Amino acid sequence: MKILLPVDGSDTSSRAVQYVIKQAQNSKVAPELHLLNVQHALPGTIKGVADQAKQYHHDEGIKALAAARRLLDDAGVKYAYHISVGEVGEVVAHFVNELKCEQVVMGTRGMSSMANMVLGSGANKVLHLVNVPVLLVK
């Protein structure tokens, strides 16, 4: 099974990673796991700084993925990781289609505003935009 696991460095995304690890350890066939961190685009366009913005998004994505990667490495679970820029729902839907993922596993809320306390806006958008099962971990 191909699983897309969007992570943002939050406690809920770490719990989603721990859930996937537990499922992988109990499965006879290891899942094909894809970690995804979605960075928000920087506001405005400034000429001549595209390379710096790209490096900034990469560095911030690596930081956000660090805890998840550590958990997976410690558990011996294989994975690929991806960093992208855009709106969470749209980027997750793109990766689901691009990678032909069969499931999305994600936390119910990340490090976004308090307005989306119960179900984060990213998770809500993913539910509406993908045509595969979405498992939300709180």
The per-residue pLDDT of the chain, averaged, comes to 88
Output the pLDDT for position 31. Answer: 93
Residues recorded for the chain: 138
Q: If you average pLDDT over residues 16-37, what whole number do you get?
A: 95
Output the pLDDT for position 118. Answer: 46
| C-alpha to C-alpha distance for 6 and 96, rounded to whole angstroms | 11
* Residue 90 identity (one-letter amino acid): E
pTM: 0.87
Output the pLDDT for position 44. Answer: 66
Q: What is the CA radius of gyration of the chain?
A: 15
Output the pLDDT for position 120. Answer: 57
pLDDT(5) > 50: yes
| C-alpha to C-alpha distance for 103 and 138, rounded to whole angstroms | 17
CA neighbor of 39 nearest in space, from 16, 20, 62, 18: 62
pLDDT(47) > 80: no
Q: What is the pLDDT of residues 75-99, one digit of tens each?
A: 999 999 999 999 999 999 999 999 9
What confidence tier does 121 reach under pLDDT thresholds 50, 70, 90? confident
Q: What is the pLDDT of residues 55-75, one digit of tens each?
A: 999 999 999 999 999 999 999
